């Protein structure tokens, strides 16, 4: 069985986060934590759906961890750049830091939750 290339899923998810954030915040005019949650859940469900469609199975535990780790690392680097730009403008303060990290953590946590295989209530 051919192993899925997990980094493609992770990088595709990062691109989807950027595009969906622009669309939701610019066109739908939704901002703040609701926009972050909406985008994070949409991307998580999309990654799960594409993985299932292409591989005809749920991701295994190792695959879930690898995808989430790559996704979190790439987004983390981008968010550190955003934090650096915030510092150039003005120091964000304690509440700003908490809100910043809360927004960042939504993405990898919700991807991990979306990738957990669900048990059917009705056995086949």
For the range 82-87, what are the long-range contacts, defined as Cβ-Cβ under 8 Å and sequence gap of 24 or more? Answer: none
Higher-pLDDT residue of 118 and 56 is 56
Q: Is the pLDDT of residue 51 over 90?
A: yes
Q: Measured between alpha carbons, how far is 20 from 51 in angstroms, rounded to an integer?
A: 19
Q: What pTM does this model have?
A: 0.88
Rounded average pLDDT over 25-35 = 91
Range in 74-78, 100-104, 119-123 the model is least confident about: 119-123
Domain locations in the chain?
6-115
Give tens-digit pLDDT for 7-17.
999 999 999 99
Q: How confident is the model at residue 73 (pLDDT cuts 50, 70, 90)?
A: very high
pLDDT of residue 7: 92
């Amino acid at each position: 069985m051919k192993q899925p290339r997990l980094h493609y899923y992770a990088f595709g998810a990062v691109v989807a986060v950027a595009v969906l954030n622009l669309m939701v915040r610019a066109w739908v005019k939704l901002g703040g934590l609701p926009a972050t949650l909406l985008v994070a859940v949409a991307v998580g469900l999309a990654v799960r759906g594409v993985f299932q469609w292409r591989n005809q199975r749920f991701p295994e535990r190792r695959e879930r961890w690898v995808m989430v780790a790559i996704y979190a690392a790439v987004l983390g680097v981008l968010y550190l750049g955003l934090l650096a730009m915030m510092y150039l403008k003005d120091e964000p303060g304690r509440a700003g830091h908490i809100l910043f990290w809360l927004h960042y953590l939504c993405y990898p946590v919700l991807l991990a939750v979306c990738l957990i295989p669900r048990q059917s209530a009705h056995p086949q």
